[in-house]
Structure 1
Amino acid sequence: MTGFRALSVAIVKGFLRDRTSVFFSVVFPLMFLVLFGGLLADQGQSEVDLVQVGDVSLIDGLDGDAKAAFEDTFDVERSDDLAAALEEVRKGDADVAVEMRDDTLVAHYTQTDQVKAGITQGTLQAFVDGANVAQLAEAAGQAPAYALETERVEDDSIKTIQYYTPGLLGWAVAMSAAIGAAATIQGWRQTKLIRRLQLSPVSTRTVVAARISVTVGIALVQLVIFVGLAAVAFGLKLTGSWWMAVPLLVVGTLCFMSLGLLAGAVTRTTEGAVNAANFIVLPMSFLSGSFFPLDGAPTWLRAVANVLPLKHLNDGMLDVMVRGEGPGAALLPMAFLVVFTVVVTLISARLFRWDAV
């Protein structure tokens, strides 16, 4: 027992002295607890963004408890332009647009978040049923006054895979570019290869260009594989200026390479560089809509997501690949990614040291 106790104490001390092990065993999982706690804490309390087009007698006629319940459930924006309202829903700026066609309440929704779409339709149906019950109570024997009809703002051929492919592709490219750059810069520094390259007839510019070309080539192969598999196996259909996904993906790759350089610059081992890159990209993927929408997340968390490069990469690819947007939809995300790349690269250059220790 004495030997067992001594060995156990030694192992515990070794674990506690290894800061990397402590971080990835305790702090890293706790970070995800905080992340998911923030993402899911207000799921049941978030209002639905609704655009009311013109006069909607069913909504305008609500009073008392029904009106209060409606206002607690929906954040209502009024508009007289149906096309503009549908565009808001299509872009994800609103969850549903409603209009009246005779006695039918027509709800236009998006497939981007099918769970929220189902909840929205069920809630609207409840208000329609409530209005019918109130009307029947006043005039017994009459047929129900109102009906609900739902229409998708997207083409009927669009499937769920449309919305998951851009996000998962963005995450895959981000992971590959960041980890590849981090491992390369730290590995070359540890083995002194980076010093040898300085003494070789090959210029630094050539070395950097080669590394960037390989990483961008890998990203383009990922694009072909993702889109090809999604199209053949799951019925993915590209829309709009889908070809703009190529330059957008190239800029996104450079952006996450700069994050990998930062990870390599601030760490001392290859394993540490890879872990640091993982630490940057993996939580970012959850906050950028790669795996699920952020509509139910708290406002402060969505504000944080808006400054993350992966969020802009995902949104840009979603616009040009799925939402049918023109080339201009990719320009703003590309501009953000370029600025982010320049800033992070300058910081990385400032922190970089030629030797590992």
Structure 2
Amino acid sequence: MSSLAFKNLSLAIIRGFVRDKASVFFAIVFPLMFLVLFGGLFGDASTSRVEMIQVGDVAFIDQMPRAEKATFEETFHITHSDDLEASVAKVKKGDADVAVEMRGKTLIAHYTQTDQVKAAVTQGVLRAFVDSTNLALSGKPPTYELQAERVEDDSLKVIQFVTPGLLGWAVAMSASFGAAATLNGWRNSKLLRRLQLSPVPTGTLVGARVSVTIAIALTQMAIFLGLGAAAFGLTLTGAWPVAIPLLVVGTLCFMAIGLLAGAVAKTTEGAVNMANFIVLPMSFLSGSFFPLDAAPAWLQGLAHVLPLWWLNEGMLDVMVRGESATAVLLPMVVLAAFALVVTAIAAKLFRWETT
């Protein structure tokens, strides 16, 4: 690979990106508008049945009046465990909403802030059941009291849970749109054929495009984290730097989607629209804008096969949930496999000129 050719091509691509106001807007400004919106305002949302882990014997539940207990079991989906540490870990991971245990006459609720709405609802509903049970046992001092404890560090704020999803969406959109528009635009303008006939190796052309796309993604990450920290008090957990290689692999994955769209579509507008058709629904189905707890089980299962879900979950694990660096390994493998398969399909369909 010629270093001079690589440098010149990279600079040309960067200049084209900077001069294209629409590309800059949709890659940087438009996603940041959502970051500011979600960081400054966190609206109300509906909630679904609460997943509860009952740790050991919980006398509060056993002594509930029959009517309250029936309503309680309709509100909470209860599983049982004798391991408090494992139960709290599930809540922290997002596999359950709350774990409850009894300490004397105090009901301890270990809850997660991953979904702010559900956290508030969980505490409010539990407190209502505690009050109604105490009222049913009238003639005595209050029998039970509720104590709520967050499983996350108290320093974590709403912005922590919003940032990974919005960043994943921004990178997916930028990488896919950029690849689709560049491939199709260069092919329709005959620039791709001229580059093929030039002495510049194809590997240099591909390397320059990939390098610029990754550089844009890392710039997006720096801007998101910088703005989040400066304006909204964003703080990250210890293993967050491993989100960088995860983001790079995710960028390659969505660049492959853009290449597929660019290879199939006949016009630049068609390529961008096709990429948008793929990425935008994926953003909603992958938790980029809001949690999927209220979605049907089949829809949540569908989300787990989408590459953006793996990117979002991997970043959430290491940036917010305090998971170790190994938490990104499986998402990286899934994203890399997806990128290889889609790239192979795009290469099969690729044509140097419009037919």
TM interval, short-chain normalised: 0.7 to 0.9
For 1:241, the equivalent position in structure 2 comes to 239
Q: What residue number does 2:298 align with?
A: 300
In the alignment, which of 122, 125, 128 is matched to residue 123 of structure 1?
125
Aligned pair partner of 1:278 in 270, 276, 279? 276
Structure 1 counterpart SS, 2:237: coil
Which of 58, 72, 85 pairs up with 1:56?
58
Match of 1:105? 107
Q: 2:95 aligns with which of 87, 93, 96?
A: 93
* Structure 1 position 43, deviation (Å): 5.2
Which letter does structure 2 place at the counterpart of 1:100? M
Q: How does 1:160-179 map to 2 (within 5 A)?
A: 160-179=158-177
1:351 aligns with 2:353: no
Match 2:71 to one of 50, 69, 72: 69
Q: CA offset at residue 73 of structure 1? A: 1.2
Does 1:225 pair with 2:223?
yes
SS of 1:201 mapped into structure 2: coil
Q: Secondary structure at the match of 2:287?
A: coil
Please tell me whether residue 216 in structure 1 is matched to residue 200 in structure 2. no
Give secondary structure in 2 for the equivalent of 1:108: strand
2:209 maps to a residue whose letter is R
Partners of 2:260 and 2:181 in 1: CA distance: 11
Query: Contact 1:98–1:107 (CA<8 Å) still a contact in 2?
Result: yes
Residue 222 of structure 1 and its aligned partner are, at CA, apart by 0.7
- 1:324, 1:217 → 2: CA distance? 26
> For 1:69, what is the secondary structure of its paired residue?
helix
CA deviations over 1:135-170 (Å, ceiling 9, x no partner): 11xxx2x21111111111111111111111111111
**Contact 2:304/2:310 (CA < 8 Å) preserved in 1?**
yes
> Equivalent residue of 2:238, what SS?
coil
Aligned-pair CA distance for 1:66: 2.2
Contact 1:43 1:297 in 2 (8 A): no
For the residue of structure 1 that corresponds to 2:254, the secondary structure is: helix
Matching residue's letter, 1:91: K
Which secondary structure state, in structure 1, belongs to the residue aligned with residue 164 of structure 2? helix
What's 2:137 paired with?
135
Residue 291 of structure 1 aligns to a residue in which SS? coil
Write out aligned runs for 1:302-317 (5 A).
302-317=300-315
The counterpart of 2:84, out of the listed 77, 82, 85, is: 82
Alpha-carbon offset, residue 60 of structure 1: 2.1
Distance (Å, rounded) in 2 between the aligned partners of 1:317 and 1:104: 36
Which of the pair has more CA radius of gyration?
A: 1
Counterpart of 1:331 in 2: which secondary structure? helix
Whether the 8 Å CA contact 1:267–1:273 is kept in 2: the answer is yes
The answer on 1:327 being equivalent to 2:329 is no
Question: C-alpha displacement at 1:70, in angstroms?
Answer: 1.7
Distance in 2 (CA, whole Å) between partners of 1:160 and 1:43 is: 17
Give the SS at the match of 2:156. coil
Query: Quick check: 1:262 aligned with 2:260?
Result: yes
Out of 46, 49, 52, which is 1:47 matched to? Answer: 49
- Of 228, 250, 261 in structure 1, the residue corresponding to residue 248 of structure 2 is 250
- Structure 2 SS opposite 1:317: helix
1:148-187 equivalence runs, <5 A: 148-187=146-185
Root mean square deviation, CA, Å: 1.3
Residue type of the partner of 2:52? L
Query: Mean alpha-carbon deviation: is it higher for 296-305 or for 122-131?
Result: 122-131
Q: Is the 8 A contact 1:240 1:322 kept in 2?
A: no
Gaps of 5+ in 2: 1-44
Q: Secondary structure at the match of 1:316?
A: helix
Distance in structure 2 (CA, Å) of the matches to 1:87 and 1:240: 17
* Contact 1:240/1:323, CA 8 A, preserved across alignment: no
Q: Does the aligned pair in 1 maintain the 2:51–2:97 contact within 8 Å?
A: yes
User: Across the two proteins, how many residue pairs are aligned to each other?
Assistant: 311
What is the 5 A alignment of 1:7-26?
A: none
How does the TM-score come out when normalised to structure 2? 0.85
Deviates more, 1:207-216 or 1:150-159: 150-159
Identity score, percent:
66
Shift of 1:63: 5.0
Residue identity matched to 1:87: A
Separation in structure 2 between the aligned mates of residue 299 and residue 111 of structure 1, nearest angstrom: 21
C-alpha separation in 2, matches of 1:64 and 1:238: 45
